[in-house]
Structure 1
């Protein structure tokens, strides 16, 4: 017997919301639907407040699509099941990355399969595994949002790049230093972030990447001074390339 699971539904069409909620009530009495939303903007706040275990999410919606909704959340600590009439090319990508989804109109067998899989993951506390699969899709779909996707022990954070001061590689992990003097530690190594960052960032040392917009001073002895008086070493091999950016 499964413990009660809290779910939120998001779809811009009211008939789809009501239909999915009825199916869940009939097929999965252990799932409590704490909210059903047509407006993605309203759903975002409810997700933050309710902290659901499951999110049933439409992709193609006006104003904010499903991927953009996820990108607006600071953390994704729940399991996502996309409910979609999306095009074939996207479904192939989902299959390849093992993302859970059901097609509209919803078939009961498909819904049962996807939900049971999600419930097993939740029961076994494999959110981190599920999130890693979600990351590959998110990275492709919000690459233009100017945010960094950061997997952490608690979930996934979406950080605006202009809030990042400095990234520091440490024993296979990355410490992300923010402009508000807080630090987030990610399981991604520095090399992974180097591929995700835009041209505002510069790798000044094998263990350090800086935000060029936060540079305040270059010290001849081999350090760069950033905002908040934060000092970062620069290697001799990268010194010439760094100074060339400002010449």
Structure 2
């Protein structure tokens, strides 16, 4: 639970201090960035700091907890409502709260709520890190003219020059490589279409060919690649294909 940050909002100072004491005792790993009685000050803090969890009272003078959230540009943190009024429960969850705790706060309820929030934060961080990794890999590999191919065993990095064509079927993609080698990927053909360079052409809804491997065009509707691979070309794509060679 490293690097988890939190902000507390409650108009009553005794409630703020009590909640803060419980969090420090039960979750020493959580860094409390601030505890605010005034919602206006909390809004400024939330807009200017990277916050993971907001512990938010609902019934407050001038501005209740729901109104506070509505004034934020973005709610990109987990919200745990803390209130004495159970009738707010349904509305709280409509506001995408991770959990809802009634006052006086029971330690077990607090632990359950915080653990829920932390689990969601961890999943979100892992997902973001994975996306960053894939982005870095794609950028790095594209500079070296290679194609990233996720497979059941891991990730293959195949030079574009070795790829004859890609064939889509049932949501998967077969990558046909020179020397009669075939690699199957869980990516669908549409995903590869977005990743491939301009040397590849989608000649059919189920086929993408490497233009550098094209050796012959047959009038009846086929392109012939190296190793005598015959790939169908749709009527809709025939003109665009021939224009590439004019």
- Give me the TM-score of the superposition, normalised by structure 1: 0.48
- Give me the TM-score of the superposition, normalised by structure 2: 0.48
Structure of greater relative contact order (alpha carbons < 8 Å, 6+ residues apart): 1
